[in-house]
């Protein structure tokens, strides 16, 4: 068992959604390990081409062509970059996507929060400003994990406690992976909200039982479509990849791949700048070592200790 499989075992134990379990099983069955081993082999082959030119410059076959070196480098770099692109959603899958429900007071945020959870977690009244503080809960939507936050209604308020709640709302919005903006009808504040919100925003027209359009938590109208939309926005890349392609799920994975990619870029920059071939090859060796750290070929004891501590053995 390599380090990635050990991490996958811990993730499988902690999994709270079908998507998390499927991804952990795929990694446990060496999906990510095998992909990284192939990348490692490709970089070693590229390093071997450079070594051949250094050690046997006058062989009958002649020097390795620049086109061959560039082609090999371009392929492996592209594969590392593609794997790295899965990191945002992969890490989100492991931690749960932070979905923040926002909007003006009495826009139906708490009712929608309860509907997505399938339980009466937030207090719902017709009085604007009922929610004074953020309420967070976990939910599984279309098989994917979400951390859903019901926030205080956004408005200018002279009441101190409500203002504090609105400040908490803004902090959640700054950290959100996805935002649900609730409105009963066209809200003139929507454009400004969209302009200042970094995360993707899904606008939902609430109280469809009264207005005849959008989503209704009373009748259930539009809720199934909304759930599908949330999963698509938060995990669209993973949905497109399916369960076969490996995915990066931890910050440790992302950091190692970023190091490997940086070394591959440094190799090509040095090569095209006329740097000595032996010096350029050191970047390829560093890229291999970054992948070794990721796979666990060479694993510092402190990393192993942290991984196996996640099993909570003896607790």
Residue 111 has pLDDT above 90, yes or no: no
Distances (CA, A) of 267 to 74, 116, 271: 11, 49, 6
pLDDT of residue 98 exceeding 50, the answer is: yes
Cβ burial, residue 92 (10 Å; 0-12/13-18/19+): buried
Indicate if the pLDDT at residue 313 is higher than 80: no
Mean pLDDT check: name the lowest of 70-84, 94-108, 205-219: 205-219
Average pLDDT over residues 113-118: 90
* Six token digits for residue 276: 């000595």
> Between 33 and 242, whose confidence is greater?
33
More confident residue, 223 or 119: 223
DSSP line for 286-315: HHHHHHHHHHTSS--HHHHHHHHHTTTTT-
- Confidence grade of residue 141 (pLDDT, cut at 50, 70, 90): very high
pLDDT of residue 234: 96
Q: Which CATH class is domain 3-86+245-309?
A: mainly alpha
With 70 as the cut, is the pLDDT of residue 122 above it? no
pLDDT at residue 299 greater than cutoff 50: no
Please tell me the predicted confidence (pLDDT) of residue 164.
80
Instruction: Name the architecture of domain 96-241.
Output: 3-Layer(aba) Sandwich (3.40)
Domains 3-86+245-309 and 96-241 share a fold: no
- List of residues 6+ apart from 294 with CB closer than 8 A: 3, 4, 36, 252, 253, 256, 257, 260
Q: Which of 276, 254, 243, 215 is nearest to 18 (CA)?
A: 243
Q: How confident is the model at residue 310 (pLDDT cuts 50, 70, 90)?
A: low
The two three-digit tokens of residue 64, written as one number: 């390795």
Query: Residue range 142-158: average pLDDT?
Result: 86
Confidence of residue 59 (pLDDT cuts 50, 70, 90): low
Residues in Cβ contact with 192 at an 8 Å cutoff, skipping those fewer than 6 apart: none
pLDDT band, residue 315 (cuts 50/70/90) = very low
Please report, for the chain, the start and end positions of each structural domain, with discontinuous segments joined by +.
3-86+245-309, 96-241
Using the predicted structure, report yes or no on whether residue 282 has a pLDDT greater than 70. Answer: yes
pLDDT score at 314: 42
Of 235 and 216, more confident: 235
Q: What is the pTM of this model?
A: 0.81
How far, in Å, CA of 306 to CA of 199, rounded? 31
């Amino acid at each position: 068992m390599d380090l990635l499989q050990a991490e996958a075992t811990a993730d499988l134990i902690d999994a709270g959604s079908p998507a998390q379990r499927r991804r952990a099983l795929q990694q446990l069955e060496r999906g990510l390990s095998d992909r990284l081993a192939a990348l490692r082999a490709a970089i070693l082959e590229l390093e071997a081409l450079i070594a051949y030119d250094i050690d046997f410059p006058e062989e009958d076959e002649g020097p390795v062509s620049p086109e061959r070196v560039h082609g090999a480098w371009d392929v492996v770099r592209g594969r590392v970059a593609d794997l790295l692109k899965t990191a945002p959603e992969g890490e989100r899958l492991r931690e749960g996507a932070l979905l923040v429900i926002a909007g003006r007071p009495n826009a139906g945020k708490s009712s929608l929060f309860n509907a997505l959870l399938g339980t009466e977690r937030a207090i719902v009244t017709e009085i604007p400003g009922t929610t004074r503080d953020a309420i967070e809960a976990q939910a599984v939507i279309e098989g994917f994990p979400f951390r859903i936050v019901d926030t205080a209604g956004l408005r200018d308020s002279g009441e101190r406690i409500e203002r504090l709640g609105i400040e908490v709302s803004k902090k959640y919005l700054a950290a959100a992976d996805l935002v649900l903006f609730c409105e009963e009808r066209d809200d003139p504040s929507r454009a400004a909200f969209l302009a200042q919100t970094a995360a993707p925003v899904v606008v939902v027209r609430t109280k469809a039982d009264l207005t005849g359009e959008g989503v209704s938590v009373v009748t259930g109208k539009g809720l199934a479509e909304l759930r599908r939309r949330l999963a698509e926005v938060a995990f669209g890349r993973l949905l497109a990849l399916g369960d076969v392609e490996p995915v990066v799920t931890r910050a440790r994975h992302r950091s190692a791949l970023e190091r490997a990619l940086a070394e591959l870029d440094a190799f090509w920059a040095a090569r095209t700048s006329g740097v000595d071939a032996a010096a350029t090859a050191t970047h390829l060796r560093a890229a291999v070592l970054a992948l070794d750290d990721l796979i666990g070929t060479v694993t510092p004891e402190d990393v192993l200790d942290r991984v196996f501590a996640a099993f909570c053995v003896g607790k």
